[in-house]
Structure 1
Amino acid sequence: MNEILLMLQFFTVTPIHKELPYDQERFTKTAVLLPVLGGVIGLLEGGAFFLMQGLFRPMSAVFFILMLDAFLTKGIHLDGLADTCDGLLSGRDRKTMLEIMKDSRLGTFGALSLFFYLFLKAALLLEFETGMVLRLVLLLPVIGRSMMVFGAYKSVYARPHGFGGIYIGKISRVSLFITSGTALLYAQALLGSSAGISWFAVCFLIFLMKRFVEKRLGGMTGDVLGAFIEVSQVLFLLVYLLMES
């Protein structure tokens, strides 16, 4: 129970009025619970969407959910996406790219990536009928966090130290199988076999992205894992929409 509370404290704005002991080795093992954390976030956002769809048109409800997701997660994964794009698209050498990604200032590529990402995510969600959107809202946070684990598995941390090193290169095969199996079964339970196939397709695409990042940066960073959480959700929507068309 303390592990879930600790993850909520680290990764969300949930007020946890309890002093929780932090141990890095113990926290690394919480990777297996990341889909559960995604499920909790999905339930909160799904409940909000259920209420909003009765009050507003689908477009307004979807944009509200995107705002809620950014608020609940403190925008840390969106920040990771922006920093990753600022660094990787800068065309600089490895050392400079890592410095750019660590810079707190938002660059042009980062701003553009956030704009196009949020616009595309909203547009893809609006391609589905309302009942399907609700199920996707429940599922997407789980998909994203399973891909975070996949990205951290058997990788090298590109920095000498930092928060990303808690997971990167330290994910066990058992944790990978559990998180992947949880996300896959949850996807199929909510959306059927097409969702399972879409999940495997996203795994392949994230694998290609992982190889690209490792080649450019010499490893992974926490920002990249955050980017994987966000990008994998859009990739899943795109693949699933194409399969259902």
Structure 2
Amino acid sequence: MVFFRRLILMLQFLTRIPIKYESDITTEDFGKALALVPIVGLVLGGIMGITYMLLIHIFSYKISAIIILVEYIFLTGGIHLDGLGDTFDGLFSYRSKERILEIMRDSRVGTNAVLAVIAVMLLNYTILTEIDKHYMLKVIILFPVAGRLGSIVGASLSTYARKGEGMGKSFIDCCTIKELIVGMILYVAIFLLVGLSRGYIIMIFPIITAVLLIKYFSRKIDGATGDVLGAVCELNQTFYLLAVYAVLNFRG
């Protein structure tokens, strides 16, 4: 029952999938439920994969790829892209820690946010259109799984950067190494289940990039926030696609 409640919580919070289910939840539930986000990623990837299979019978390969990325934004409500933009606006303002956190909380969108989101979406689209069509379906399914691994790694390996309350506090404070281990087991199991060619090699890269990203961001503000977790998620997806392309095209 706890598993089901927490999985539904993550689907409701991190996606726009209409799920009408109410239950008593605690602050702890948010952090503990992060262990299940690889499953949320699989749900998103499954929907995107089905859409892709339908689209390629009507549209070209490139048009199908861009529609899939638009669908991803719709399914997630752009929650992680928003975190990416806020993080880049703050961290690359080169201000004090306190000022960086203020900028990250500001609802206004700055130049760094726009550039970061555009760059990530362009990279995602370009890499997807360069990947062999025979692997495309499995690559799409695993795309959001790799991203959400970044959120677990980020929350479990960092502390909350703000002094008061915030959206990411319950995630970061209550997500421990135990949740990371559970999440990693689910992540590896999903990769093996989907069976992407050389997937056992590819799945290592999102783990490494997630650790490096959270360490880099945390050093800037002495911890992490909900926005930072979103940024790690989005960047991890792009690095995953880069790893897929590099590994599948390696001729050594």
TM-score normalised per structure 2: 0.91
Q: Is the 8 A contact 2:15 2:76 kept in 1?
A: yes
Deviations 1:97-128 (A, max 9, x none): 11111111110010011111101001111111
Is structure 2 residue 93 aligned with structure 1 residue 90? yes
Alignment of 1:23-38 (within 5 A): 23-38=26-41
Q: Which 5+ residue runs of structure 1 have no aligned equivalent?
A: none
Q: Which 5+ residue runs of structure 2 have no aligned equivalent?
A: none
Post-superposition shift, 1:136?
1.0
Is structure 2 residue 155 aligned with structure 1 residue 147? no
Q: How many residues align?
A: 245
Q: Is the 8 A contact 1:6 1:20 kept in 2?
A: no
Q: Is the 8 A contact 1:154 1:169 kept in 2?
A: no
Alignment of 1:1-245 (within 5 A): 1-159=4-162, 160-192=164-196, 194-245=198-249
Deviations 1:166-215 (A, max 9, x none): 22143232321121122123224434573232332332222222222111
Q: Is the 8 A contact 1:158 1:217 kept in 2?
A: yes
Consecutive aligned runs of 4 or more in structure 1 exceeding 6 Å deviation: none
SS of equivalent residue, structure 1 residue 132? helix
Supply the AA of the counterpart residue of 2:47: L
Q: Is the 8 A contact 1:151 1:207 kept in 2?
A: yes
In 2: Cα distance, 1:127 partner to 1:110 partner? 26
Rate the CA distance shift 1:98–1:32 in 2: closer, same or farther, 3 A. same
Deviations 1:83-107 (A, max 9, x none): 1111111111111111111111110
In 1: Cα distance, 2:42 partner to 2:195 partner? 15
Post-superposition shift, 1:23?
1.4
Between the aligned residues of both structures, percent identity stands at: 34
SS of equivalent residue, structure 1 residue 230? helix
Supply the AA of the counterpart residue of 1:74: G
Root mean square deviation, CA, Å: 1.6
Q: Which moved more, 1:21-30 or 1:185-194?
A: 185-194
